[in-house]
Structure 1
Amino acid sequence: MTLLQSFYFACISVSPVLAILLLGMWLKKANVVNSEFIRGGNQIVFNIALPCLLFINVATNPLQKNLDTTLVIYAAIATLLSVLFLVVIARFTAPKSQRGVFVQCSFRGNMAIIGLALAVSYLGEEIIPVVATYLAFITILYNVLSIMVLTTFNRSMLVTILKNPLILGIVAGLIVSLLGISLPKFVTQPLNYLSQLTLPLALLCIGASLDWHSAKSNTRVTAIASVLKLAIIPTVVVSGGWYLGLGKEALIVLFLMSGAPTAAAAFVMSKQLTDHGDLASEIITFSTLLSPLTITIGLMILGEV
């Protein structure tokens, strides 16, 4: 594959996701959708549609076939090391009160929506079970680390993690898969219908939530966090995976998961646990708007590997 072909393939993989994000922005600007629609849509995605998608893809596919143990272990170690690195960097780049938010927003990517959407667009729908098993483990780690960097860990926070709908969907899917339970069609068909809502509705809501003008109150911290999230961390993580001999598909999954823009959940947790939800919102906006460029460049480079 030539460099030009790699660039073209990367562009056509990113463009469907970008198109839905831009459509969401236009619908909000044209007053076709409002804040109530966005709030309701997000609740449907995170409480119903996305848990169904993760459950059905984990439950109906053999775990042994789709679990890339090396990839998951490496991703977990890389995430832990990234957080330690960010804790050090935060001491020099963010005010003390903002450091927890800075760290969380710099490592917590929108894997389950944008990362998954890009993986499907670039690698095809057959990659969903592989990504779902990846998410099964890394999502739990993300939640634990997010709470640890934002506040003191306690029992109530553990309960919050365990009640997360995404984690419940993943764990239920793992149980069904490990026990070898065959789900009847009258169960799988409605779950498949709900699963198909996930990506288009989530991307529309993300697009409608974005506001370029909001990403200006904490410009320096926002810019540094976004560059770390979109460029520096994924470059280091993927380079390490390449050095260890991970296959091309695994490297692409690793890049799309680690290089996805900051997750919307980072705002929710920052708002609940700190006084700097505005900073999280700005980093989410800036990183999401910048991510099509960085992801296109990354996929183009990986196309040459």
Structure 2
Amino acid sequence: MENLIFAFNAVAPSFSIVLLGFLLKRMGILTDDFIAKGNALCFKVLFPLLVFFNLYDAVRIDFTYIKIILFCIGVILVSVIILTPLVPKFVKERRKVGVMIQCMYRGNFMLYGLPFSKSLGGEPSVALATSIMAATLPILNTLGVFVYSAFADMEEGPSAKKACINALKNPIIWGVIFGLVFYFLKLPMPGFLHTAGNDVAKIATPLAFLFLGGQFELRSARRNLKELAIGLTTKLVILPIIFLWVAVQVFQIVGIDLIPVFIFLSAPTAITNYQMAIQFDADYELAGDFLIYSMVFSAFTLFFFIYALRAMGLI
């Protein structure tokens, strides 16, 4: 019961902000124009700042965890390689394909990784979670740009050149690049600038959830029922079970080392998927529904995995 309560408490705050955004839109406080400009602010300024300070302020990025880091990178690459040709066979609308692929393989490790790791495994798990985040975040954001840009053009086929250009235009990528440069070179930052930047970065996630709630409509969930059923089952159940089996049986990852890996595999979809869907004119309604319902159902799936892994003595 304690684990269930913890999982619920991890999801409930974000879901409450989404609900508030939904209510504010119905009350006329959030307008369509305000939401559109707010989403642009989140994608172009706030999320790059959030990524930058997450890396810049990392206490320790320890790449001695090389086996586990390589496993997580392998999970990303294998998932994209499998899902990219597979999803278009079941989803015919091009604007939905990139959303489905991105939402199925990318979880919100940036939001869930550190608190869950600290609660379940203490500081050693937090150190490993930080290292995984630093190693995978650039790959996740770069691949996300490539996946979305590959399916963004409705008239032309995927273009590697266009994908590369879009990758370099993506503000989040530059947040990752500058964050790693400042971290590894130990570049100093004036105290006032660090405080101001951190304060601004902290509003990125709640503000994005608020705007998401303002755009949420129940009829879109009904319209996307098939895609949501396939995507949520794949993201929250099928892929975690497969990759957890590989982690334990093949890579022998157990104990406190398995905790951040488990969260990396099982966390609900990342809010940046929704922001990128807007940026690339993909089906942002599907991305928003996927984000909301993955948060809701992850409270139950995370509890199931925590209970099962503990019962088997793996964590």
How big is the shift at 1:286? 3.2
Given candidates 289, 293, 296, the residue that maps to 2:292 is 289
1:300 maps to which residue? Answer: 303
How big is the shift at 1:167? 0.7
SS in structure 2 at match of 1:52:
helix
Whether contact under 8 Å (1:58, 1:174) holds in the other structure is yes
2:112 maps to which residue? Answer: 118
Structure 1's 218 and 186: CA in aligned 2 closer, same or farther, altered over 3 A?
A: closer
SS in structure 1 at match of 2:73:
helix
Whether contact under 8 Å (1:20, 1:207) holds in the other structure is yes
1:189 maps to which residue? Answer: 195
Please tell me whether residue 202 in structure 1 is matched to residue 208 in structure 2: yes
Given candidates 254, 263, 278, the residue that maps to 1:268 is 278
SS in structure 2 at match of 1:136:
helix
How big is the shift at 1:66? 7.5
How big is the shift at 1:208? 1.5
Structure 1's 59 and 108: CA in aligned 2 closer, same or farther, altered over 3 A?
A: same
1:166 maps to which residue? Answer: 172
Deviations 1:65-87 (A, max 9, x none): 37854444323322222233324
Whether contact under 8 Å (1:38, 1:205) holds in the other structure is yes
Given candidates 26, 34, 56, the residue that maps to 1:29 is 26
Please tell me whether residue 215 in structure 1 is matched to residue 218 in structure 2: no
Structure 1's 80 and 6: CA in aligned 2 closer, same or farther, altered over 3 A?
A: same
1:137 alignment partner AA: I
- 241-250 or 61-70, larger mean C-alpha shift: 61-70
How big is the shift at 1:166? 0.8
TM-score (ref. length: structure 2): 0.78
> Number of residues paired by the alignment?
292
How far, CA to CA, are the matches of 2:67 and 2:194 in structure 1? 30
1:18 maps to which residue? Answer: 15
How big is the shift at 1:258? 6.5
- 261-270 or 47-56, larger mean C-alpha shift: 261-270
Given candidates 36, 42, 57, the residue that maps to 2:54 is 57
Given candidates 80, 90, 101, the residue that maps to 1:83 is 80
Gaps spanning 5+ residues in structure 2: where? 310-315
Whether contact under 8 Å (2:4, 2:303) holds in the other structure is yes
2:143 maps to which residue? Answer: 141
Whether contact under 8 Å (2:52, 2:178) holds in the other structure is yes
Given candidates 246, 252, 257, the residue that maps to 1:245 is 252
Structure 1's 32 and 70: CA in aligned 2 closer, same or farther, altered over 3 A?
A: farther
How far, CA to CA, are the matches of 1:281 and 1:93 in structure 2? 19
How big is the shift at 1:106? 4.7
How far, CA to CA, are the matches of 1:201 and 1:131 in structure 2? 26
Whether contact under 8 Å (2:47, 2:201) holds in the other structure is yes
1:232 maps to which residue? Answer: 238
How big is the shift at 1:204? 0.8
- 225-234 or 260-269, larger mean C-alpha shift: 260-269
How big is the shift at 1:110? 6.1
How big is the shift at 1:5? 1.8
How big is the shift at 1:170? 0.9
Structure 1's 248 and 218: CA in aligned 2 closer, same or farther, altered over 3 A?
A: closer
1:213 alignment partner AA: R
SS in structure 1 at match of 2:163:
helix
Q: CA RMSD in A?
A: 3.2
How big is the shift at 1:59? 2.0
How big is the shift at 1:164? 1.0
How far, CA to CA, are the matches of 1:21 and 1:122 in structure 2? 21
TM-score (ref. length: structure 1): 0.80
SS in structure 2 at match of 1:33:
coil
How far, CA to CA, are the matches of 2:24 and 2:96 in structure 1? 34
How far, CA to CA, are the matches of 1:173 and 1:12 in structure 2? 30
How big is the shift at 1:62? 5.7
1:255 maps to which residue? Answer: 265
Deviations 1:27-51 (A, max 9, x none): 1122221112212222222211221
Deviations 1:250-295 (A, max 9, x none): 2243135575578214533663xxxxx4xx3343243233223321
Structure 1's 121 and 61: CA in aligned 2 closer, same or farther, altered over 3 A?
A: closer
SS in structure 2 at match of 1:31:
coil
Whether contact under 8 Å (1:49, 1:198) holds in the other structure is yes
